[in-house]
A and B are shown apart, each in its own frame.
Chain A
């Protein structure tokens, strides 16, 4: 993903739209765009694992929720300095990711999916049992945090802060993916045995990327708590974990931008259909099935191809012992 050429132009257009459009359309759409940016950030953290590391996590919502709870609780306790609460929320999420990852990453393939789902459920039940924090109903925040001299109470200001953070996260993730560490991670994804044979033990590398992704999900969670001024166990539900995976796939895995577009598509789909029916899931479920069975590419992949902006995106390769041999002779993914 270079910053030049057609792909760069495409990114520039998307960013320009993200900067200019929402405030122009009014408060409702500003809040809507804020949601997209936050879920996009969470979905991006899933893509770091899914697309670049081949780890199918079905528990990222737990880390998102932990970030939301940490930020929310600190805010309720009166710690409203965003420069303090948000990093703390990230830290707490990273610690949870360390614990969950240390155990889950002992398993591979199908088991990893089940184990991440199970540990996420454990965190969910833990949040549900916090009676002092509203139990199943969750709790509200008295106010948003503030960034030194900037008040975040205004929806437009808050949107731009979230947008800046999202861009920073994308740049950071891009840096990580292209670094030597990122190359090792992709090498492990493509062939774990070979990577180990040339001196890169998979486990610590996977654990580090799992914790980084957990931190990003935690930041997204902290932003969500501030955006909605409300936190509940629903932020950790297994449905949300699944929806994050769906966003990545709808938008194109292995691309960093795709998950954000996927989040935009998902939320827009929900928003538009909700006008007609409360049963929008009745349509989203089959749409997801159809995407998996019938369509080869996600939104970003289609956009890139439609505009003729360089190479095609690879479908994500996953940590799946049976597929290892097959994966060995196909080329690594898209980011070049």
Chain B
């Protein structure tokens, strides 16, 4: 185990954590403001990858395909919000869980019908291939650096949007008391549609960027969704700051445990321990805090 390898894995961990943040922040925003638990969020991650793949086949240009994939994901989100989510706002969590679970089943099958069951490999954009030496003697892929940077920029833009703009003020107000916001003459329906589309686009962004690293396949969003839920539980449901801290913790912890545990323990149980590490982390956090690290809402 060299220092170079450790640093490289740390980079990977941060990068994975930031991807999880893009997912988790959508889950936590939609819950914090709309009080809806959205299990279909993983589908939007998956659709990001599929839309990019389809748009690439059609336009043969990353410059066109990436915006198209975004527009596609946003459109799906707007339709979903209007048709399925709106009636759910006044329903209990059970109805929300079942309806959004039903959507996940639908989308997983729909992409199978359209693009088949086989995983589809996506290649890294040609201008982002290659690697650089961050620390001497260890080459690090440019693509991973770029998606890390993009995720950081997206996170900063989101922060500016929430902290500095009028829409952000409405979002914050809406999460505190939606009745009052509506009573002040704000079109709360429009605000909800916007937030849902925004969270969908962040999920799609993660899906687009992870496409070349994982592969595009039916159900690709499900494990990511579950990890994002773990992040939200650790960070505290409804808290954007919690989502960031939780995501980085989970990303780094997961990546490092994959490297370090096999070095320390070499038995049959090794791979089991590696797969379970993140959930143990969640259990430990729950032992100390029932509501996560940065609980925005009690309960």
**Are both chains from one complex?**
yes
B157 contacts chain A at the CB level, 8 A cutoff? no
With contacts A110-B237, A113-B37 taken as known, whether A287 is within 8 angstroms of B102 at the C-beta atoms is: yes
Q: Specify the chain A residue showing the minimal Cβ separation from B37.
A: A110
The stretch that binds A, out of B55-63, B88-96, B133-141, B195-203, is: B88-96
Contact for B98 among A106, A110, A130, A292, CB less than 8 A: A292
Complex Cα distance, B42 from A117, in Å, reads: 14
Q: Does A89 contact B (CB under 8 A)?
A: no
* Docked-complex contact A292 and B113, CB < 8 angstroms: no
B233 contacts the other chain (CB 8 A) = yes
**Does A274 sit within 8 A of B, measured CB to CB?**
no
Question: Which B residues from 243 to 298 make CB contacts under 8 A with A?
Answer: 268-269, 271-272, 274-276, 279-280, 282-283, 286-287, 290-292, 298
Knowing A129-B271, A285-B109, say if A118 contacts B93 (CB, 8 Å).
no
Instruction: Please report which residues of chain B, range 155-198, place their CB below 8 angstroms from some CB of chain A when the two chains form the complex.
Output: none
Are B299 and A318 closer than 8 Å at their CB atoms?
no
Contact indicator A103/B103 (Cβ below 8 Å) = no
Task: Check B64 for interface membership: any CB of A closer than 8 A.
Answer: no
Report the stretch among A14-22, A178-186, A237-245 that lies at the interface: A237-245
Whether B299 and A118, one on each chain, are in contact in the complex, defined by CB atoms closer than 8 angstroms, is no
With both beta carbons as reference points, the residue of chain B lying nearest to A287 in the complex is identified as: B102
Chain B residues contacting A285 (CB-CB under 8 Å) are 102-107, 109
Pick the interface stretch among A139-147, A306-314, A319-327. A319-327
Quick one: which of A79-135 are within 8 Å of B by CB? Answer: 103, 106-111, 113-115, 117-119, 121-122, 125-126, 128-132
Decide: A318 near B272, CB < 8 A? Known: A239-B105, A289-B99.
no
From B39, B99, B275, B282, give the contact of A126 (CB < 8 A).
B275
Interface residue B128 (Cβ < 8 Å from any Cβ of A): no
* A118-B230 contact, Cβ under 8 Å, with A282-B109, A292-B102: yes
Contact (Cβ within 8 A) B272 A110? no
- Given A113-B37, A113-B97, A245-B101, verify A282-B110 contact (CB < 8 Å): yes
CA distance A124 to B88 in the complex (A): 30
Return the chain B residue nearest A113 by Cβ.
Answer: B97
- Mask of A20-59 contacts with B, CB within 8 angstroms, 1/0: 0000000000000000000000000000001000001010
Report if A318-B222 is in contact (Cβ < 8 Å); known contacts: A103-B283, A287-B102: no
Give CA–CA (A47, B190) in the complex, Å. Answer: 37
Contact of B282 among A118, A131, A287 (CB under 8 A): A118
- Given A56-B97, A108-B299: A288 touches B102 (CB 8 Å cut-off): yes
Q: How far is B27's CA from A111's CA once the two chains are assembled, in angstroms?
A: 12
Q: Range of interface residues on chain A?
A: 35 or more
Q: Is residue A260 contacting chain B, with contact meaning CB distance below 8 A?
A: no
B112 within 8 A of A: yes
CA distance A131 to B87 in the complex (A): 46
Q: Once the chains bind, are A50 and B286 in contact (CB under 8 Å)? A: no
Q: How far is the CA of A23 from the CA of B165 in the complex (A)?
A: 69
Cβ of A209 within 8 Å of any chain B Cβ, yes or no, is no
Instruction: List B contacts of A131 (CB < 8 A).
Output: 268, 271
Prevailing SS type, chain B contact patch:
helix
Docked-complex contact B286 and A103, CB < 8 angstroms: yes
B157 to chain A, nearest CB (A): 27
Q: Does B75 contact A (CB under 8 A)?
A: no
A171 CB to nearest B CB, Å: 26
Within the complex, what minimum Cβ distance (angstroms) separates B172 from chain A? 19
Which residues of chain A are near B286, meaning CB under 8 Å? 103, 106-107, 115
In the complex, whether B108 has a CB less than 8 A from a CB of chain A is: yes
**Complex: A278 Cα to B94 Cα, angstroms:** 28
A13 at the interface (CB under 8 A from B): no
Inter-chain CA distance A121–B280, complex, in Å, is 12
**Which residues between 259 and 286 of chain A lie within 8 Å of chain B, taking CB atoms?**
279, 281-282, 284-286
Report yes or no: A320 in contact with B101, Cβ–Cβ below 8 A. Answer: no
Residues A292 and B95 in contact, CB atoms below 8 Å apart: yes
In whole angstroms, what is the CA distance A287 to B103 when docked? 10
Check if A293 is an interface residue, CB within 8 A of chain B: yes
* Interface presence of B6 (CB below 8 A): no
When C-beta atoms are compared, the residue in chain B nearest to A237 turns out to be B222
**Are B92 and A323 within 8 A (Cβ)?**
yes
What 3 A-B pairs have minimum CB-CB distances, sorted nearest first? Answer: A285-B106, A288-B102, A125-B275
Q: List 10 A-B contacts (CB under 8 A).
A: A106-B287, A107-B291, A111-B292, A129-B269, A242-B105, A284-B102, A285-B102, A289-B99, A292-B98, A293-B99
Q: What is B's interface to A at a CB cutoff of 8 Å?
A: 31, 35, 37, 39, 84, 87-88, 91-95, 97-99, 101-110, 112-113, 222-223, 226, 229-230, 232-233, 237, 268-269, 271-272, 274-276, 279-280, 282-283, 286-287, 290-292, 298-299
Given contacts A103-B283, A114-B237, A285-B107, 16 further A-B contacts (CB under 8 A): A103-B286, A103-B287, A106-B290, A109-B299, A111-B291, A118-B229, A125-B272, A125-B275, A126-B272, A130-B272, A242-B97, A246-B101, A285-B104, A286-B106, A289-B103, A292-B99
A interface residues, Cβ below 8 angstroms from B: 50, 56, 58, 103, 106-111, 113-115, 117-119, 121-122, 125-126, 128-132, 238-239, 242, 245-246, 249, 279, 281-282, 284-289, 291-293, 316, 318, 320-323
